[in-house]
Amino acid sequence: MAGAAVTVTISIMTLAAVHTLGINVDIATALILSLLSAVAAADDSGVAGGSLLLIPLACSLFGIPNDIAMQVVGVGFIVGVLQDSCETALNSSTDVLFTATAEFAQQRKVGRSFVINK
């Protein structure tokens, strides 16, 4: 979870619903939402729309009814096209970074020098 885009999706969509409904959120509750989103999102990798499936769970933290939570999921399907593209780009870029780091570490172990051009 290099980018943690799923956590951001769950938190932002839920907080948008909370704001729309006029529910006040203190900073402690927002932090709890972010922590719970991170823990829950760690297990939904590889599930298509996994972050959207966790939005009703996050909405229940604020007492939002299931019918409204499912409307948020519907909006998430629309936004999901752009979100998935950005998430894939972010995850791919960190894959390249970690691969390059491992290659540079291997080169250093062997005693070869390398030059990084700016």
- From first to last of its 118 residues, the chain has per-residue pLDDT tens of 444 566 777 888 899 999 999 999 999 999 998 888 888 777 666 666 677 888 898 899 899 999 999 999 999 888 878 877 777 777 778 888 889 889 888 988 998 877 777 7
| Angle at which helices 5-20 and 66-110 cross, to 10° | 150
State the pLDDT at residue 46.
63
Reported as half-sphere exposure (CB side, CA atoms, 13 A), residue 27 has a value of: 0
d(CA 33, CA 54): 11
Maximum pairwise Cα distance, the chain: 62
pTM, two decimals, is: 0.67
Amino acid identity at 44: D
Q: How far apart are CA 65 and CA 53, in angstroms?
A: 15
| Residue 44 in tokens | 């939904």
Per-residue model confidence (pLDDT) at position 45: 61
Place of tokens 């297990």: 43
